[in-house]
Structures are given as C-alpha cells and as structure tokens.
Amino acid sequence: MLKERWIKILAYIIVPSFAIIVLIPFFWVLMTSLKTPSEISSWPPHFFPKELTNENYINIFVKENFFRYLLNSFIISIGSMFFVLLTSSLSGFIFAKYRFPFRTFLFAVILATATIPIQVYMIPLFIMVYKTGMMNTYFAMIFPMTIMTFGVFFMRQNIMSIPDSLLDAARIDGANELWIYLKIVLSLSKSSLMALGIFSFSEAWGNFIWPLLVVTTKDMYTTELGLAVYQRQFYIEYGAISAGAVVTIIPMLLVFTILRKNILQGFTTSGIKE
C-alpha cells in the first residue's frame, strides 16, 4: 500500500508504542492485584510488586463468592449462545431457502431492528419481566438475548450459498425438511455457527445493564455485575477490585486466544459486506 521508507520507519515507531499504551492498563491491573495494600498506596508507585501476595484473590473468592458469579455468567452466556444459534440458523434457513408471502417485507423488518441496542427498549422489557413475576431468574436474564438480528442476517447469507440442488436431491431421496435442516444445513454451516457462537457468547458475557435491572439478590449476580457493585462498596480496596477485574477478563481472554482466527476474520468481514 504505502511502501515509502519514511512511512515504514514511522510505522515501526508509532505502532509498537501505541501497542504499549494500549496494554499498560492490563499490566498495571495484574500487578496491582498481586500487591499488598501498603504497597498499593505507596508513592511513587512501583511497577513490580516487591512481595507477591495472593491475599486479594482469596478475598474475592472466599468473601465475595466470585465462583458463583462466574458460574452465573457461564450459565447465561452458554444459554444465550445456544438459543441464538438455534433461532438464527432456523430463521436464516427459512429466509434463505423458502418462498412465502411477505418474505422480503418480514426480513426487512427484522433487519431494521439490527442496530437498535437494548438500552432503547429496556424499559418495556423490564415492565414485561416485572409484571410476569420473572424477576431474578436465569430465564429473565437470558431471554432478551435469545434472538440476535445480526445472527439471522448472518446465517441467511451463509445458508444462501448452499446450492438448492443439494437440498432437492435430499428431498427426492425422501428426506423431510427437519432432516435437511439438521443434517445438511447445520453441518454445512459449521464455521459460521462457530463465529456466531463466539460472538453471542461474548455479547452475553459482557452484558451489564440488563442483569443490573433484573437481578435482585447477590447469588444471581454475573461477574460483570458483581464487579461493578463490589467496586462501589469498597472504594479503597484496589487490590481486591483489581483481582476481580483480572478474574472477569480471563475467561474471555482464553476464548479469544484459542479462537483468535475465527473471531478476527469470521464476523468482521461478513459484517461489513452487504
């Protein structure tokens, strides 16, 4: 692209220094989580702790029950991922391969809601949950995240690339529509299901405002919520708060490092193309 020498030199200076700036906060929080309280409040601050301590981690797991929060987050994220994959692949299949009245219109309606974030409709959603007495349940936390408009669009695009002749051949051999969906469509769209699964998992994991509204007791807290509430209560205990932040980041970081290729190439490319 731009291959001039001075641009290359500029890139080699700017890009790594920018990377360091981006990564310092993570490094700093990790170091803080391993420091003793007296060292945290020392001035000037040390970069590396003089004596390592695991006291902060013990604090959050024993006193604050972060295990429970992690478990809740996993239940919600896995649940949401499962339902998003199911609804997206099914409706994507229907929109891609069947003709029925108002098909384009219905698809346009679904697509129009794609960019509307939950913050816009959380009030009516909350009233629904409240009036039906579902407050503080896993169901209430998962159900706004069972259908993902982007997922429907994404799966439709992918399933459209499956040739019709393949499906027709199966029909001639006597396969019913459910069999076609389960055995042909799903197995041919494995990689896109994977990308969508990761995406919906991380969306559910990072969701904060919705659990904040519907959760009322501590044993239903997600890690996000637990951390946010925890840091409000104990402003001074930076060590424990940092440990909490590290614990909250690690699961997503693991998923990311293992499946990096899928994440970076999978949905960013298909999200932009029309």
Partner 1 sequence: MAVLSTLIAALTIALLLRSIEHVSPFFETLFYIPVITSWVPASVIWKWLYDPTYGLINYILSLFDIAKQGWLQEPDLIIFAIVIVASWKMIGYYIIVFTVGLKNIPISYLEAAEIDGASALQRLRYIILPLLRPIILFAVVMSTIQFFNVFAPVYVLTASAQGAPAYDLKVVVSEIYRNGFEYYRMGYAGAESVVLLILVMTMVTLQFTLFREQK
Does residue 17 bind partner 1 (CB under 8 A)?
no
Secondary structure (3-state) at 85: helix
Shortest Å, Cβ 260 to partner 1? 6
Does residue 10 bind partner 1 (CB under 8 A)?
yes
User: What CA–CA distance (Å, rounded) separates 234 from 60?
Assistant: 12
User: What CA–CA distance (Å, rounded) separates 228 from 245?
Assistant: 9
**Given the complex with partner 1, which of 119 and 187 has the nearer CB atom?**
119
* Whole-Å CA distances, 118 to 21, 27, 125, 144, 265: 31, 32, 9, 8, 26
Shortest Å, Cβ 172 to partner 1? 40
**Given the complex with partner 1, which of 99 and 131 has the nearer CB atom?**
131
Q: Whose CA is closest to 160, among 188, 200, 196?
A: 188
Shortest Å, Cβ 186 to partner 1? 27
Residues 186-205 that bind partner 1 (CB under 8 A): 202, 205
User: What CA–CA distance (Å, rounded) separates 35 from 195?
Assistant: 38
**Given the complex with partner 1, which of 40 and 155 has the nearer CB atom?**
40
Shortest Å, Cβ 175 to partner 1? 38
Is the distance from CB of 241 to CB of 230 less than 8 angstroms?
yes
Shortest Å, Cβ 136 to partner 1? 14
List 17, 25, 63, 166, residue binding partner 1 (CB under 8 A): 25
User: What CA–CA distance (Å, rounded) separates 250 from 29?
Assistant: 12
Does residue 131 bind partner 1 (CB under 8 A)?
no
Burial (CB count within 10 angstroms: exposed 0-12, middle 13-18, buried 19+), residue 170: middle
* Whole-Å CA distances, 214 to 116, 123, 229, 243: 20, 11, 14, 26
Tokens of 259: 């499946």
**Given the complex with partner 1, which of 38 and 165 has the nearer CB atom?**
38
Q: Give the contact letters, 40-59, x = binds to partner 1 (CB under 8 A), - = no.
A: xxxxxx--------------
Which span (25-33, 61-69, 87-95, 188-196) binds partner 1, by CB under 8 A?
Answer: 25-33
CB contact set of 178 (below 8 Å; sequence gap of 6+): none
Does residue 264 bind partner 1 (CB under 8 A)?
yes
Residue with tokens 């695991």, as numbered in its chain? 54
Residues 204-263 that bind partner 1 (CB under 8 A): 205-206, 208-209, 212-213, 224-225, 227-228, 231-233, 235-236, 238, 241-242, 244-246, 248-249, 252-253, 255-256, 260, 263
Peptide bond into 44 cis (omega under 30): yes
Does residue 15 bind partner 1 (CB under 8 A)?
yes
CB contact set of 78 (below 8 Å; sequence gap of 6+): 201
Does residue 29 bind partner 1 (CB under 8 A)?
yes
Residues 136-175 that bind partner 1 (CB under 8 A): none
Residue with tokens 């669009």, as numbered in its chain? 153
Q: Give the contact letters, 90-129, x = binds to partner 1 (CB under 8 A), - = no.
A: ----------------------x--xxx-xxxxxx-xx--
